[in-house]
A and B are shown apart, each in its own frame.
Chain A
């Protein structure tokens, strides 16, 4: 292999321990928050090791310590049986650790080659480094199905290919231990399968892989062992083959969790929403939504599946009155304005549409404002919040917020707390409470459980079902296929700004949906 000539570290690292990584007593606090408490865990060499846990369980902190981003307050790290200090990323790389972050660390207007050699150049001049990297990349891509054009600019590559560049970067630095943080969040099922084939190939070559994910299914499919974290502690490490999704979920949350959504059959009523040939252009004049048509009935959940960026966001924005559109939207028999001053969130709300936007931190909340102030957004003209012609009735708003926080189990239930002080799940519950409590005819809900803990996911899913059972129409957009399949009464798959086809969640499967999501099959 072409790799051995560079450094020769692999040859000297004679295995003295069966473990590639061993952590002993790792603790890390941020102020009063104990992010990691006395973590002990070991990863056998040549295995794929999963780490799961809710948001804030301390997975990322632990991996950041391993990659030299943070220094642990206490504890020791052993790499291949050798006590190793990792004060910075450079030391982690030298110790043979490579990291693929959830948000890629690539320079967009550099070529693949330039990104690969960045920080790992052979000398002060670039030419020899580039030539060497070209050769090594060729070898690696043949060996591990990691094909990418070395001269392509990153910004021209698909997300899946960008991820391969990140893996190549780590392998070029001769990583023996590869850490992947939520690697499949942005991939189609097909791309994810490809990624797991790559990871298995790497494992066969003796590399050790740590996979951080919140998707239990991936843990079950891909890993040999799995460690579960909860509130900063390592709860347990088990062999994957001897565990089940239910037992892992229980370990994560600390109580029994219903993974399957418990929902009765739908009783669809009259058509509430009709969308005909809806088109949206972005600010560069590029058509993002290329003519979408569907009906949505009362008491029905229509799930929109698809890889992020295929027009789902534009569909929600057009329906919510945020984006200008052409075509036709009819709600309860009345045409809604698509352009002009009347096409805005205010008029949509008055027409009976509530909107839980995909990006709650930018569109759903103002993070520096308090919970009760956020609770007024979009409904600040509601007569029940007015004291008189001039002033709002803040006391009524606070009391109202307190009531909604109790109903939606927002923790802590303090209306005066700033939105940014709540966890992701509780922020989402605030938005969901605000929108659902307005008793809309149609609820638009985008990525309802992105960055939300398992416990809160269960709660939000139940609220969505309850709203459907009250006879409301619900348009659900999610990139989580599991979520779409368990909640929807009907599924539409979007690709490249179009609906590729409709499926029945009872009869379809992931493979079929995955093909539609990749633009294969269905009606074009």
Chain B
């Protein structure tokens, strides 16, 4: 494998890792507040459909993005009402929302466009296009740096750069702000927050809303940037992979970046069986490569990466005790 190929693969690692990163950060906010969210997948799917459909109808990727975030927020609100207000089982609520998203996205897309549950291919301003950063031409012939800059760093859509900015931003919010302190506290011991005179319910709803926005970004990115339109089940389990990455990252933002990019790298490899064959020296079936991220997920979940301690109050509805 030559240097340029490696750079190409790293570039597509970032493109494929971005939705995972956004979903992983989304899960991070929710779970840090004590609300388990297995419904990342459903929110992404709903956002992808809404973004794809609205972008196709309006011709604007930005309007599509807003619609995607809106759809994801509606799903987040449902999860919040079920698990915070009514203290329902968070896993069941999440699974139910995933099923709902799976069915309703295809239903609406079919009703709107009649193309077998897909949205029409997006063209022109209905899509987020890669941005060419300055100096790409100037650096083109510089060895090593040139290809790195043009393939890996430059040439992504605005949403990719936004996702990358979310990593330090999340870290800063969690560890440097009052909101972050309270958010982390409510996921560990809601009674401590409650007796300190801070509302557990508002904090958790705020966290769930952030989850909604980030999942909306992830879904909209899938439909309007990574691909050109929505297709049935297009998220393909990325919400679950993001959850695995969250455990891998032990619920921390920078580690979430590392974990999701590792998963993204495997997905990128699966797209380049020729390169894998060149490196390994034998033909590896494509289905084997496709399975790699999932195999890694199983290994992560089986605890091969050391013990991950989830937020202590995670999954437990808060009931004021006497």
Name the residue among A61, A67, A88, A109 with the largest chain B CB count within 10 angstroms.
Answer: A109
The chain B residue with its CB closest to the CB of A30 is B322
A117–B312 Cα distance when bound, in Å, is: 20
A487–B82 Cα distance when bound, in Å, is: 52
Known: A61-B322, A110-B188, A126-B176. A89 touches B181 (CB 8 A): no
List chain A residues, Cβ under 8 A from B184: 107, 110
Judge whether B322 and A119 touch: CB under 8 Å: no
Judge whether B194 and A89 touch: CB under 8 Å: yes
Known: A107-B185, A108-B189, A125-B176. A89 touches B322 (CB 8 A): no
The chain A residue with its CB closest to the CB of B172 is A125
At the interface with chain B, which of A98-106, A246-254, A447-455? Answer: A98-106
Q: Does B191 contact A (CB under 8 A)?
A: yes
A44–B195 Cα distance when bound, in Å, is: 25
The chain A residue with its CB closest to the CB of B176 is A126
| A60 touches which of B182, B192, B322 (Cβ 8 Å) | B322
Q: Does A273 contact B (CB under 8 A)?
A: no
Q: Does B198 contact A (CB under 8 A)?
A: yes
Judge whether B181 and A114 touch: CB under 8 Å: yes
Known: A105-B189, A108-B312. A118 touches B182 (CB 8 A): yes
List chain B residues, Cβ under 8 A from A418: none
Judge whether A120 and B178 touch: CB under 8 Å: no
A114–B188 Cα distance when bound, in Å, is: 13
Q: Does B196 contact A (CB under 8 A)?
A: yes
Judge whether A89 and B192 touch: CB under 8 Å: no
Shortest B306–chain A CB gap in Å is 15
* Chain A interface size range: 20 to 34
Known: A69-B320, A126-B177. A119 touches B188 (CB 8 A): no
Judge whether B197 and A124 touch: CB under 8 Å: no
List chain B residues, Cβ under 8 A from A118: 181-182, 185, 192-193, 196, 198
Shortest B102–chain A CB gap in Å is 37
Q: Does B113 contact A (CB under 8 A)?
A: no
Q: Does B171 contact A (CB under 8 A)?
A: no
Judge whether A123 and B189 touch: CB under 8 Å: no
List chain B residues, Cβ under 8 A from A88: 197
List chain B residues, Cβ under 8 A from A124: 177-179
Shortest B189–chain A CB gap in Å is 5
Listed from nearest, the 7 A-B pairs whose CB atoms lie closest are: A119-B196, A90-B197, A105-B192, A89-B197, A121-B178, A105-B195, A119-B198
Pick 21 A–B contacts, CB within 8 A, sort by A. A60-B322, A88-B197, A89-B195, A90-B198, A101-B195, A105-B191, A106-B189, A106-B192, A107-B185, A107-B189, A107-B192, A108-B189, A109-B312, A110-B184, A118-B181, A118-B192, A120-B196, A125-B178, A126-B177, A126-B178, A169-B196
